[in-house]
Structure 1
């Protein structure tokens, strides 16, 4: 049986997943430098071992309530040669899901504004939405952010 590997992350009390192959690293929340005049969903810039990485607040990007959590983590994903950080409430566990438990998202639920939902998976009778981190931002948005950084 074939399996798919995911990293589980939380936004408020909801679990989401991202394919492990799209993730370069996960780091603890640390000092982020605010980016003046940047888009509202960007929390700022992170200096990670000499690399300057823009940090996207996924709650703001997804228009979710920003319930304060004690723990914050940053998922570092690669998009081509670019590294982008995604601020989440927690990202500490991986999971394997049998391929037959991975389904395409319902067509009726997918719109242009949420094209980053790549699939849904069922694990322990729980439905988890899988986010394609490469599609959270459009090419134009990535270009704009890199010009600001």
Structure 2
């Protein structure tokens, strides 16, 4: 049976994972340069050895509130495909935990929510001990469709503004 390795990290009270092959580096949280007129979850950019790397706040994108800056806050640099083009992207995490191995039988499909495929960015649910680890599809998170959904979810809806 084949096992895959995943980097686990915390967002709020949940444990998430990324396929280790997508992770390039892990950095301590550093100064971010904010880019005007970008969604709130796009926290800014960092200078990575002379390259501009966008940094996103996955907690904000997932509706979990902003990632607080603590001694454990870090930026996970991943290579993602955006519209078929590879780019480096940083993702804020509350804390990086460990690298784990999961067998195929330990991974369940993502659950559909309320009849909508709102979980397209979840590769699967890793069964570990008595709980689950949410395995993210980092390319799926940053697909054009998913980014539009995130931005729409973060924006006030017209019906919410109506008196």
Query: Under TM normalisation by the shorter chain, which class is it?
Result: 0.7 to 0.9
Unpaired stretches in structure 1, ≥5 consecutive residues = 143-149
Distance (whole Å) between structure 2 residues aligned to residue 66 and residue 33 of structure 1: 16
Q: CA RMSD in A?
A: 2.1
2:93 corresponds to which residue? 88
Contact 1:12 1:69 (8 Å CA) reproduced = no
User: For 1:60, what is the secondary structure of its paired residue?
Assistant: helix
Distance (whole Å) between structure 2 residues aligned to residue 29 and residue 103 of structure 1: 32
Q: Which moved more, 1:56-65 or 1:100-109?
A: 100-109
Matched positions, count: 142
TM-score, length basis structure 1: 0.84
1:56 corresponds to which residue? 56
| Structure 1 residues 111 and 8: alpha-carbon distance in aligned structure 2, compared to 1, 3 A threshold | farther
Q: What's the offset of the Cα at 1:85?
A: 0.8
Distance (whole Å) between structure 2 residues aligned to residue 17 and residue 109 of structure 1: 24
TM-score, length basis structure 2: 0.78
User: For 2:139, what is the secondary structure of its paired residue?
Assistant: helix
Q: What's the offset of the Cα at 1:139?
A: 3.0
Distance (whole Å) between structure 1 residues aligned to residue 58 and residue 138 of structure 2: 10
User: For 2:60, what is the secondary structure of its paired residue?
Assistant: helix
Distance (whole Å) between structure 2 residues aligned to residue 105 and residue 112 of structure 1: 10
Distance (whole Å) between structure 1 residues aligned to residue 45 and residue 10 of structure 2: 21
For 1:96-141, what per-residue CA distance to the aligned partner results, in whole angstroms no more than 9, with x for missing partners?
Answer: 1122111111234684443101101111222111111111122375
Unpaired stretches in structure 2, ≥5 consecutive residues = 149-163
Aligned pairs (5 A) from 1:1-149: 1-66=1-66, 68=68, 70=70, 71-79=72-80, 80-108=85-113, 111-139=116-144, 141=147
Whose Rg is larger?
A: 2
For 1:28-79, what per-residue CA distance to the aligned partner results, in whole angstroms no more than 9, with x for missing partners?
Answer: 1111111112111111001011111010100111111336352211111112
User: For 1:59, what is the secondary structure of its paired residue?
Assistant: helix
